[in-house]
Amino acid sequence: MTGISIAIDGPAGTGKSTVSKEVARRLKLAYFDTGATYRVATLWCMREGVDLAQESDVAALVETMNVSLVLDPRNPRVLLEDEDVSSLIRSDSVALTVSKVATNLEARAALGQWQRDVIAAELEGGYSDGRGVVSEGRDITTVIAPDADVRILMTADEEIRVARRAGEGADLATVREAVLGRDKKDSTVVQFHTAADGVHTLDTSELTIEEAVQAVLDLVAEVR
C-alpha cells in the first residue's frame, strides 16, 4: 500500500502553508513546500551570478544545484550545499526575484521533475515512512500531482490576503504591491486562482486556521 498524497495550491496569504504544515503534523505526514524549491533555485542563481534573462543558462545551473530538503512539518528545512538556507530563501531579495525563475519554463520542468520525485519517494518511504505527504504550491493539483488523493485550491479575498501578509505595522501599499505583483507574474505560467476539475475550493477569508485545518481533514476523511 502506498501513502496518501494531499495537494494544496493557492496564492500567497490564503493560509496554505500554515494549514498544510498543521495537517501534515496531525496526520504524521511529510510536508513539502514546493515554493521552497523555486526559492532555493533563485538563491543559487543569485549566488552564482547568472543572468536571469538567459533562460537556458538558468535551467542548466538549476540542474547542478545540490539541495536537500527536510520535510518535517514542525521544522521544515532547506539545505544548499549543506548550508541551512531556510531563512535566507524567505528574504525580500529572493521573494522579489523568484518569479523570474518560476516563469522560466525550462527551469520549471527541471524543478517539477524533482518535485514529482520527492512526492513519489514519500508515498513509498522517505521522511514519512511511506505514510504520505502534503504538498503545497501553485500547480500541484494540476501539473505536479493531478492524481493526488485529495486536491484543494485555497483562496481568500485579495485584501484579506494582503492584510495577513502585512502583519502589524507594515505599510499595506508596499505589501499589496509585493504580494499581488508576484501573483500576477506567476499567473503568466501557472493558473492558481480557480480550481481545475475535481479540485475542491476552500475559501479561507472567513475561516480561522483551525477551521481551515478541519475543513482539509474532513476532505481527507472522505477518501480514507
**Which grid cell sits at 115?**
518535485
What's the CA gap between 157 and 151, in Å, rounded?
A: 20
In the complex, the smallest distance separating the C-beta of residue 114 from ligand C5P, rounded to whole angstroms, is: 12
Q: Considering only residues 25, 182, 191, 214, which one is a binding residue for ligand C5P as defined by CB under 6 A?
A: 182
- How far is Cα 127 from Cα 31, in angstroms, rounded to an integer? 9
Q: Under a CB-based contact definition with an 8 Å cutoff, are residues 61 and 104 in contact?
A: no
User: How far apart (Å, rounded) are the C-alpha atoms in residues 186 and 200?
Assistant: 21
Please report, as residue ranges, which positions from 122 to 181 form the binding site for ligand C5P (by CB under 6 A): 137-140
Which of residues 8, 12, 179, 199 is near ligand C5P by CB under 6 A? 12
- Residue 35 binds ligand C5P, judged by CB under 6 A: yes
Count of CB atoms within 10 A of residue 177's CB? 12
- Residues in contact with ligand C5P, shown as a per-residue x/- string from 189 to 218 under the rule CB under 6 A: -x----------------------------
Closest approach, Cβ 81 to ligand C5P, in A, equals 21
Report helix, strand or coil for 14: coil
C-alpha triplet 143, 219, 24: angle, nearest 5°: 75
Does 67 sit near ligand C5P (CB under 6 A)? no
Strand partners, 16: none
130 or 164: whose CB is closer to ligand C5P? 164
Q: Which listed range, 32-40, 46-54, 149-157, 200-208, lies at the site for ligand C5P (CB under 6 A)?
A: 32-40
Give the annotated binding-site residues for ATP: 10-18
